[in-house]
Amino acid sequence: MTRTNPFKAGLQAGRPQVGMWASLASPLATEVLAGAGLDFIVIDSEHAPNDAAEIVAQLQACAAGGSTPAAVRAWWNDRVAIKRILDCGAETVVVPYVQTPDEAREAVASVRYPPVGARGAAGATRANAFGREPGYWAEADERICLVVQVETAAAIEAASDIAAVDGVDVVFVGPGDLAADLGVIHDRQHASVRQALERALAKITAAGKPAGVMAGSIREARDLLDMGFSMVSVATELVHLRVIVDQVVSELKETA
């Protein structure tokens, strides 16, 4: 039976997708996110301590918590890393730090089966229901959604060519690393970062691809959606937890 990737389908239909990164390596926390009505969750394995077993557990938590589409960010643009993520059952893969069209093509090859790509064709994995989904291999390339991240000034300049690569579904701007590369580390609101975001958005959308970005707050997320970004993550569950806990402790101590 043909299945679709609802996150990919939403973008193709022109519906903005709003989600959140999962960085706590906690299936329970991810299950809470999955019941909140987000359009997507990104399970992070670049900056968060998520290995393959924890990725599987969180993909299962997403299904149990509300069937929110779950993506996984690879720890690098590496064929083995991406193959393992796909075999875990992820249908959307985020690849960090893509600098050139050739690196984007390498990511495409990692998510597609031969002869188009180079993904290993394991016979029984969670991705193909442990071998019980015989049509998986014929449908997988169409179902998988590839998100590549551009995170430096050089990558922004190459964004048109990166977005034009066949098989790249979304180009996602990482403003944190971009700010660092521009010499204003941790200052995402700096004018140079804003200008780079605007250039990236124009280049990506001109190539006919959706543009994604990370927001640090609800207000910033609304602004980025208004700018025209189609995939917006509102920080991480770790950040929201820290903000709430710090606020609770601060207010209690003020009244003590």
Distance CA 251, CA 254 (A): 5
Do 46 and 15 form a contact (C-beta atoms < 8 A)? no
Q: Is the peptide bond before 16 cis (omega within 30 degrees of 0)?
A: no
| 3-state SS string for 163-209 | HCCCCCCEEEECHHHHHHHCCCCCCCCCHHHHHHHHHHHHHHHHCCC
Amino acid type, 110: S
Nearest to 71 by CA among 104, 99, 46, 36: 46
Q: Report phi then psi at 124, rounded to 5.
A: -140, 100
Catalytic positions, written as ranges: 47
Do 29 and 6 form a contact (C-beta atoms < 8 A)? no
The beta strands (E) that lie in the chain are given as 17-22, 40-44, 70-73, 92-95, 145-150, 170-173, 211-215, 231-236
The beta strands (E) that lie in 28-103 are given as 40-44, 70-73, 92-95
Distance CA 123, CA 143 (A): 18
Q: What residues contact residue 202 under an 8 Å CB cut-off, 6+ apart?
A: none
